Amino acid sequence: MRHILTADQFDLDLTTKLFAEADKAYETLTKGGTGAAVDPKLAGRIMYRLFYEASTRTYESFGFAATHLGMSVLGTQSVQFSSVSKGETLEDTIRMISGYDPSLIVLRSATAGDALRAAEISSVPVVNAGDGKGEHPTQSLLDLYTMHRELGRTENLHIVLGGDMANGRTARSLVKILSKYPGNRFTFVAPPTFEMGEDILAELDAKHIPCEQTTDVMEALKTADVAYWTRIQKERVSAEQTAYLEANPSAGETFSIGKAQISVMPEHARLMHPLPRVGEIKTEVDSDPRAIYFTQARYGMFVRMALIKYVLEEI
């Protein structure tokens, strides 16, 4: 079964195939509008979304992607009203849901490793839509696709990742996927206590991929091809991180991007964000042509259309 559990799964052949399919979906929908991308082979098949953490983009773009392909979409976004609130285990829920014969299950949960646990039980493919502090492989795929479309390449890039590197799964998966391409280098700009995890740093070191850590936002942005900003993951911060934020109330401002920060970025560079943003990118930069986070979110739907076809073995 084609489970999607980690960004490590995406090799160059697969991303090339998925991006070609995403390009096709983009053209078809942009030219033909709603209904144009319906695939008779997928009509009547069912995608089930099991979301145990807050989501707007991932939940909805998966829903739109499947609907544009002609599939039916079911699911829940509520832990409160599911049997989990009565103490049901993830394993039991997945065993039961997969028994209703969906074609795939898209899972978001609060604990790293949950997607793998689900895949071990499920009788249908499981797609990891974010597992706690773990990974967010489909986000990294759409982030990579955004670079492919906006910069024309996914290699020989200087990627500056800023914000909560410790708790942000999008940054972790993005580093993994970009590490597959030659010539990429990374700079991590995180407030103290929010630095990138040792496991990712060790992976980069083992692959001899250059990476730096700094707290100097301006200096890092000057040579960025991509600036990828993220919010503090307040639902996951540790006691030490909370203490840091309380002792440094200006940290949010120090690590935010406004007009002064974007103006030092090269003209060709792009400012990305998985969203939601909560102040770390100011609305004053939204009209700058380098700010592409809403386009990035839109690309996510086309990438997920391609990914659904891949998971269902239609491509």
**Least distance (Å) between residue 38 CB and ligand NCD:** 26
| Residue 84 token pair | 């989990």
Residue 241 within binding range of ligand NCD, rule CB under 6 A: no
Residue whose beta carbon is closest to ligand NCD: 274
**Least distance (Å) between residue 64 CB and ligand NCD:** 14
Count, residues in the chain: 315
> Does residue 175 contact residue 186 with C-beta atoms inside 8 Å?
yes
CA 206 to chain centre: 24
CB of 136 or CB of 158, closer to ligand NCD:
136
Span near ligand NCD by CB under 6 A; candidates 87-95, 204-212, 226-234, 279-287: 226-234
| Residue 40 token pair | 């008779």
Residue 49 within binding range of ligand NCD, rule CB under 6 A: no
Query: Considering Cα of 21, then 26, then 31, then 37, what sign does the dihedral take?
Result: positive
> Does residue 149 contact residue 141 with C-beta atoms inside 8 Å?
no
| Residue 209 token pair | 């991929």
Span near ligand NCD by CB under 6 A; candidates 114-122, 228-236, 243-251, 252-260: 228-236
Binding letters toward ligand NCD, positions 51-90, x by CB under 6 A: ------xx--------------------------------
**Residues forming the active site:** 57-58, 86, 108, 136
**Least distance (Å) between residue 222 CB and ligand NCD:** 25
Tell me the backbone φ, ψ of residue 244, rounded to 5 degrees.
-60, -45
Span near ligand NCD by CB under 6 A; candidates 41-49, 81-89, 112-120, 225-233: 225-233
Residue 109 within binding range of ligand NCD, rule CB under 6 A: no
Span near ligand NCD by CB under 6 A; candidates 15-23, 26-34, 227-235, 281-289: 227-235
Residue 142 within binding range of ligand NCD, rule CB under 6 A: no
Residue 130 within binding range of ligand NCD, rule CB under 6 A: yes
Q: How many CB atoms lie within 10 A of CB 156?
A: 11
The residue within the footprint of ligand NCD, chosen from 118, 269, 275, 301 (CB under 6 A), is: 275
Residue 274 within binding range of ligand NCD, rule CB under 6 A: yes
E strand spans, the chain? 46-51, 72-76, 104-109, 126-131, 158-162, 185-189, 211-214, 226-229, 270-272
CB of 220 or CB of 275, closer to ligand NCD:
275
**Cα 98 from Cα 267, distance rounded (Å):** 49
Tell me the helices (H) and strands (E) count for the chain, helix number first: 12, 9
The residue within the footprint of ligand NCD, chosen from 68, 158, 180, 231 (CB under 6 A), is: 231
Residue 170 within binding range of ligand NCD, rule CB under 6 A: yes
**Least distance (Å) between residue 122 CB and ligand NCD:** 21
**In 17-44, which positions are buried (b, 16+ CB within 10 angstroms) versus exposed (e)?**
ebbebbebbbebbeeeeeeebebeebee
| Residue 149 token pair | 């479309």
| Interacting residues with ligand NCD (CB under 6 A) | 57-58, 130, 136, 139, 169-170, 230-231, 233, 274-275
